[in-house]
Amino acid sequence: MQIIAALTTVNTSELRLVFSGGTSLSKGFGLIQRFSEDLDFKVILPESGFNRNKCRSYRRQLVDAIRKGSSQWSLNDNDIFSRNQGRFFYCQIGYQCNFALVTTLRPHIKLEISFKSPALPVEEKSLQSFIAQALGNQPEVPAIACVSPIETAADKLSALTWRVLSQQLGNKLDDPALIRHLHDLTALEILLTEYHDFPNLIITLLEEDVGRDKDLNLLAIPPIERLFLMLQYLEDDPVYADEYERFVTSMSYATEDERPSFRQALDSAHRIVSRIDE
């Protein structure tokens, strides 16, 4: 929470941070119960659209805010990366460890920021750490714009599809962390049944994914077919079930009977995709 609080000190009239991803689902909306070492944000752009110089300046302000925020973490220049002509950047923020790390946890916080306005209206939420909750303290972040859980679900389904196909068709290295998207989608299924325009939202994202991997010819596979192909790979390759069980065991703080099994999560994903194809 302290890193997010530091980021919110950067004020500009033209650009605005919007919290997204799994951590926003857990801390902002209370929809999932798992730990995360990722912080994801989108940026609301001005009506004029993306301006590389202005976004570069904003990125530098964010980096400066992180470095000045606390002595409990650090950010080195060689841990900052920019891609897609400055439209996306991520960094690895090292932090002090007071306890032995669980093997599934990284020794750093990964911050990812996309200079892309959210597709759906944002929602204001407060963010409070477990420590603040236990002590009865006020939220570390009183208010921050958050991406709609509906849009986050679309982002996750798109990311899961692209990453699985990249592994299976593009011979990319295994990424055990991708299974978190399958876990999170299970908690969002009910919300998706109430949003009738979800098929259009996910199809738009899948079409944008075509250019993400030059070695993967996604143009040859229609978007809906990609979704079903992804599900088939998850069904057929036992490594995904193993990675899911390790992830949930290590990262979920839900009670055992509240944790969706791999089979339950996969069945949920099947239902979501089937409704898209209706």
36 lies in the same domain as 135: yes
Strand ranges (E), the chain:
16-20, 38-44, 73-74, 80-83, 88-95, 108-114, 123-127, 141-146
37 lies in the same domain as 110: yes
pTM, entire model = 0.92
75 lies in the same domain as 158: no
62 lies in the same domain as 154: no
Dig out the tokens for 1 from the structure: 């929470």
Segment 133-160, tens digit of pLDDT: 899 999 999 999 999 999 999 999 999 9
Mean pLDDT, the chain, whole residue set:
92
Per the CB < 8 A criterion, the answer to whether 139 and 2 are in contact is no
Domain range for 48: 2-146
The pairing of beta strand 123-127 with beta strand 16-20: unpaired
- What is the predicted pLDDT for the residue at 22? 95
Segment 86-140, tens digit of pLDDT: 999 999 999 876 555 555 566 789 999 999 999 999 999 999 998 998 999 999 9
108 lies in the same domain as 171: no
Pick from 143, 104, 111: nearest CA to 126: 143
Q: Which residues pair with residue 91 across a beta bridge?
A: 80, 111
Dig out the tokens for 148 from the structure: 């709609």
Residue ending a domain, among 90, 117, 146, is 146
Mean pLDDT of 170-179: 77
Dig out the tokens for 210 from the structure: 């075509």
23 lies in the same domain as 50: yes
